[in-house]
Structure 1
Amino acid sequence: MGPRTLTRLLVALSLAVTGLSSWPRPAGADEPAPPARVAVDQRFTTSDGVELQTTLTSVGPVTAKPTVVEFSPYGDDSQTLEVTPDYNFLLVQIRGTGDSDGSFDALGPRSQRDVVEVLQWACTQPFSDGDLAVNGFSASAIVLYNSWHQRLPCVKAAILRSGTHELYRDLLVPGGILNLVPGAGVIGMIGAPALLQGVDRLRRDPAPSLGVVGGLFASGLGVLAHPSLDSWWAERGWRGDANDIPVLMLNGFYDVESRGVFQAFQALRDDGAHLVMEGGHDGTPAGTDGGVGEARAWLDHYLRGVDNDIESRPAVRLLLAHGDRAAYLDGQYTVREAADWPVPGTTWTELALGGGKRLTTEPPAAARKESYLTLPTLPTMSDVPTWSLLEAGGAKALTGALPFLGRTNAVAVEKLTGLTYTTDALSADVALAGPLALDLPLATTTPGSGIWAILSDVAPDGSSHPLTVGRLSTSYPDLVPGRSLTDAGGAVVQPYGDYGTVDRATVGKIRRYQVELWPVGNVFRAGHRLRIQIVGTSLFSPLSLPALHTIRVGGPDGARLRVPVLPGSDLTAALGG
């Protein structure tokens, strides 16, 4: 087995394990066999002399067609979108990865500049008719979001699935807490094809190999060397929109990068962006094609001028789970369409954490303090975004055999390893969709510890199913002025934390924290209950220090949870208020 074949097998396995596989073909009637697929390898030299490996794929002879371009760090054969014979597809292995030379810069400025240079070149090649689209999934989407502040030549449309709007906030250090497992997994997935394809690189020219290995090593250390949101991170996040490109964004509410797509949609909606929550790393729900049909219609309209009315469809389509991710994947969901995100007419209902472990619309009159130890928690229960990624790649066998591991009933042992607050049973269905905020007065014994909050749907049988999480280091109590989302009354409903300024907590002193929980999309059925649990950080975030946390509940200044209620639902009434 040659190195190129081995690389393809490893990439395919890696993509399957992490849910980064190519989109499934839509089900339908049998189709005649298409003409033979042609792949043409070509090396492109950047302005600083680095050679990038590119592969053009065409069905039948290579002719001038609209061309879809993807910039991937996952090596050969890692394209994440199957296109019809009406298009060519150009896969570009970004610098320092796969069989490309240079040093990987963690999707930073040099990789971003390469995007512009390759697009300019591709636009004028014989295989292109002058109209390009860009496609990306996860890392290949991130490098595009990071490049949007530059003019992207010849690009008429984009399809971006998952991906981060801000790499720091959305994936690697959410809430100022290092998200170690996804970060290590990404470096491993990038590094493996680079090492295997390094055999071809050594045969061609041994000189670049040291730079490739060094770049991967430096990028891994770079994440650890920059715990706060500094200029290094700013270069690896959203820096503005220099384009007018309609973008189709696809993801799922349980995705490990779910926050990013909502933020990106808000940044690009004026350019005609559409947001479809129909699956990402978290899997494709039954009854859908994961956005394949939407993506093809998007390309057909914006690159080939097909009159299919896709631009006039509602800009936002949400698949709201009925209780948890398992139900969502099983096809138990409600489709909700809207003109914007957050959905116009959304109201945030404030729920007070109180005595008797209740979550109520009316705070208890008397204030009290409650404490817990921040011992590490099982990711199957406490880290639904990351665990969804692993489940989609095969870890479902564990929670399938032991269902209690995927529920939050045992994640908090009262007054020891966490605190749990639950509403009464709902008298009617209530649909929630949008970001949430936990307004938390808290004292810690260990500066630099982590606050971790889990929102769950509690079924009538008492089983508690995690929906989303909030994370915040006690070193970051402040918000960036003017950046948080507030409701009609001025209350913060999506905190935008200041992670660039460390402010260590004074031991034993209560101060207020605004914890951002990533957007939820769920219909709480009648008879179900809402639950918020405040626990120790996930084992996937092992660098957060253990501590004794004390929170204030009840009274006019106690802890509050603000949840997004969609038009047509009334949480207060469903709780008998």
Structure 2
Amino acid sequence: MPSITFPLPSPEHVDVPMSDGATLSVLRYAAPGGGPAPAVVVMTPYRKEALMHAELLQVPIREGYEVLIADVRGIGGSSGPYHGILAPREVEDGVELLAWAARQPFCDGRTALIGGSYSGLNQLLIAARRPESLRCIAPWIAPIDFYRDMWKRGGIPSHTAWGARAFLASQRAETRRRGLENFYGEILGEDFDTGLFHRSNPDLSAIEVPALFLGGWYDYFLRGTVRGFQQVTCPKRLVVGPWSHDPFLSDEQRDELAGWLNHWLRGEGPDPSAEGANVRLSCVGTDGWETRGDFPEAGNIPWFRWRPVDAEHPVPIAPALSATPMPPPSNVDPMVDLVTESGMRMWGETTVFELPAAEAPARLLGPVGLRAVVRADGCEDFDAHARLSVVRPDGQVLPITEGRLRASHRAVDDHRSARDEAGGIVVPWHAHTHADPVEPGVPVTLHVEIYPVHLRLAEGDRLRVGLTLVRADESAAPAQAVLLPGTTVSLPAGPDE
């Protein structure tokens, strides 16, 4: 639930002209005191008046900034033809909106971008254009890869209800038609990572302004949060807490955002991007936080390799996700799961493997790798879903993280995949450029990318990997697979383990 700490002031409505004749509908929350102040800007496809934005907006409003929130073109009060989700014209609108804000008497010429999810990727795309007035950005629970993070995780259509929620309520027939066509006909209708997706991927190397990456261990876009932080070369900070894909901020998130804005827009407080202390991570299984100078790269992690099978192990291939068992309870709010299709509660485990109970406390920090060697019969393609959980001594199961991969998309780019010290792939980069059908009776090797963890195991805790295979071909008949020796789970040992 929202935790708005004070009533928001009444905003002023402004229509901002774009160079192609469209106008962006903007709500302006004026800074107190009357003098010019930096402008903090949000661009949203979710209607600028929605309650979900109040939690975020209260931070810069409370800190005394000019605050502007705009509907993206073709949505809400903004006019102009809708060109598609995060299309280049929408990015250009963002650049023009910042330039307009910087010229206004209420602004001192400095601007910042904030926002989560869609509005986080939007920031990265705009920042890569290097707007003159922009001083910092704060992408929160944000993706960086239009294909791998947003719509086709592991080559599997993801987040599929988003288009209906975003566009069916539109009052503009043209936006409704174009939005649904773009999402369901083009984005979900395209199997492979083509130029359609590339156009909405930010050039992270072009971003020069400081970037605050805020994410959650249970968030749908955790992969993008961590990779975005690792790939930018600008001043940067990474904060990952016990959060999911939720529009409501915790006290820690509000404090981080306020400190970030105040430093880069006013020069207040210590540098939050200072080398050696610009990563702050909560630890699942404790109430503690750790401050570090990096997020571990695969080549620098001491890996523990778990081989869950030493003989052929039968695994059923379910006809659909709905045919799998009930999933274990999750730390993630059920509504967040259902809205985002995050995977933590969308499927049950048909096969599980557990390590022996921990004899002493242990810590995991980094990505998790799964190399599954599978032989399938009676099925040309299937989706592999993997979940890492902790089983407490009392039997409680705590889901931690998950990953997925369509078997026909198993081809990896050797040069872009991250490897351990022995040269084995632990964080795969799947090409997603073609399909390799599964041949009956022929083993295939699946490198499943599982999201990172920071986890403390207590004495007596057990790690569990749950695996579910689901048909991805035209048949709905049950099928059977076998998990073969050579299957390996790579677990990232913490630096003090």
TM-score normalized by structure 2?
Answer: 0.88
CA displacement, residues 515-544 of structure 1 (integer Å, 9 cap, x when unaligned): 111112221211011111211359xx9999
**Kept in 2: contact 1:66–1:87 (CA 8 A):** yes
What's the counterpart of residue 423 of structure 1?
355
**Does the CA-based 8 Å contact 1:254-1:384 persist in structure 2?**
no
CA shift, 1:124, in A, is: 1.2
Work out which of the residue numbers 474, 490, 497 in structure 2 matches 1:562: 490
Structure 2 counterpart SS, 1:465: strand
The match for 1:215 is 178
User: Could you report, residue by residue, the CA deviation over 1:433-473 in whole angstroms, capped at 9, with x for unpaired residues?
Assistant: 22111111112332231111111101112232221111000
- 1:224 CA displacement: 2.1
Q: 1:457-472 counterparts in 2 under 5 A?
A: 457-472=390-405
Matches within 5 A, 1:323-338: 332-338=286-292
Determine if the alignment matches structure 1 residue 127 to structure 2 residue 82: no
- Measure the CA separation in 2 of the matches of 1:427 and 1:305: 49
How big is the shift at 1:369?
4.7
Select the residue among 317, 322, 333 that pairs with 1:373: 317
Is 1:550 equivalent to 2:477 in the alignment? no
Instruction: Give the corresponding residue for 2:266.
Output: 304
Deviations 1:131-189 (A, max 9, x none): 1110011111122223343222311111111011112211321001112xx33136414
Residue of structure 2 equivalent to 1:162: 141
Q: Work out whether 1:87 is the aligned partner of 2:50.
A: no
Pairing 1:230–2:194 present: yes
Q: Secondary structure at the match of 2:294?
A: coil
Contact 1:250 1:280 in 2 (8 A): no
Is the contact between residue 282 and residue 389 of structure 1 (CA under 8 Å) also seen in structure 2? no
Match status 1:317 vs 2:280: yes
Say whether the 8 Å CA contact 1:450–1:544 is kept in structure 2. Answer: no
CA contact (8 A) 2:123 2:137 kept: no
Question: 1:463-542 alignment to 2 at 5 Å?
Answer: 463-537=396-470
> How does 1:31-430 map onto structure 2 within 5 Å?
37-60=9-32, 63-78=35-50, 79=53, 80-82=56-58, 83=60, 84-101=62-79, 102-179=81-158, 182-185=159-162, 187-189=164-166, 191-192=168-169, 194-195=170-171, 209-221=172-184, 222-268=186-232, 270-278=233-241, 280-282=243-245, 289-312=251-274, 314-322=277-285, 332-342=286-296, 346-354=301-309, 364=310, 367-377=311-321, 382=327, 388=332, 390-392=334-336, 411-412=348-349, 418-430=350-362
Choose from 403, 422, 441 the match for 2:373: 441
2:355/2:463 contact within 8 Å kept: yes
Residue 551 to residue 248, structure 1, CA distance change in 2 (3 Å): same
Q: Deviations over 1:452-501 (max 9, x none)?
A: 11111011122322211110001111112311111222111111111122
Is the helix fraction higher in 1 or 2?
A: 1
1:202 is aligned to: none
**Take 2:464 and 2:28, find their aligned partners in 1: how far apart are those partners?**
51
* 1: CA distance, partners of 2:329 / 2:196: 28
Structure 1, residues 61-91: CA drift from partner, whole Å, max 9, x if none? Answer: 6541101011111113244332125210011
Cα distance change on mapping 1:394 and 1:234 into 2, 3 Å: closer
Q: Residue 45 and residue 210 in structure 1: after superposition, are their counterparts in 2 closer, same or farther (change >3 A)?
A: farther
CA offsets per residue over residues 406-431 of structure 1, 9 Å max, x none? 999x944xxxxx32211111101111
Contact kept, 8 Å, 2:382 with 2:473, in 1: the verdict is: no
Aligned to 1:201: none
1:114 deviates by 1.2
Q: Post-superposition shift, 1:561?
A: 0.6
Give the drift of 1:238.
2.9
The secondary structure found in structure 2 opposite 1:531 is strand
Number of equivalent positions: 481
Residues in 2 aligned to 1:501 and 1:542: alpha-carbon distance in whole angstroms: 15
Q: Unpaired segments of 5 or more residues in structure 2? A: none
TM-score (norm 1): 0.76
> Does the 8 Å CA contact 2:317/2:470 hold for their aligned counterparts?
no
Q: Secondary structure, in 3 states, of the residue corresponding to 1:353?
A: coil
Equivalent position SS for 1:54: strand
Determine the C-alpha separation between the residues in 2 that align with 1:174 and 1:229: 11
Contact 1:42–1:54 (CA<8 Å) still a contact in 2?
Answer: yes
Distance 1:475 1:384 in 2: 30
Letter in 2 for 1:218: E
The farther-off stretch of 544-553 and 106-115 is 544-553
Cα distance 1:307–1:456, how it changes in 2: closer, same or farther (>3 A)? closer
Measure how far apart 1:513 and its partner are.
Answer: 1.2
Deviations 1:545-572 (A, max 9, x none): 6653423433xxx100111111112xxx
Check whether the contact 1:163–1:257 (CA below 8 A) recurs between aligned residues: yes
The one-letter amino acid of 1:374's match is A
| 2:11 alignment partner, SS class | strand
Instruction: Give SS of 1:475's match.
Output: helix
